[in-house]
Structure 1
């Protein structure tokens, strides 16, 4: 497998993970909005920490994905210098 196909495959995998996480966060937001409209703000306020937690997890995953890419970039740069 060439470097190009590997990087494309990784990008697709990351995009899928990202879409799933964004979808989960949006679903939590929709549930929170429904709860807030149906049962006043008490239920909405109790669901707010769950949304904030989901967003925090999203941020951590973003950071981990970026950190996971960096060694590969450094390795690729070293390989390009050798050629």
Structure 2
């Protein structure tokens, strides 16, 4: 279902992918960032994003175009995100 959503539906209805990372995460060292850094639309400092209100340091929201190239990249993974446990 995840892969179907990425290519069949989201490409039709979404124009951007937003990835929000906290200041303690090394997003710029991640393969996705390295693959698509030239395509970044903008980066915004935020305290809120869907499902989260941050009281500490601001996080960074990276805006990328959502297109077939991004969808093909993401579908290589069963799930694009993972929980980080301490």
More helix by share: 1
- Structure with the larger RCO, 1 or 2 (CA within 8 Å, 6+ apart): 2
TM-score range, shorter chain: under 0.3
TM-score by length of 1: 0.24
Higher radius of gyration, 1 or 2: 1
TM-score by length of 2: 0.24
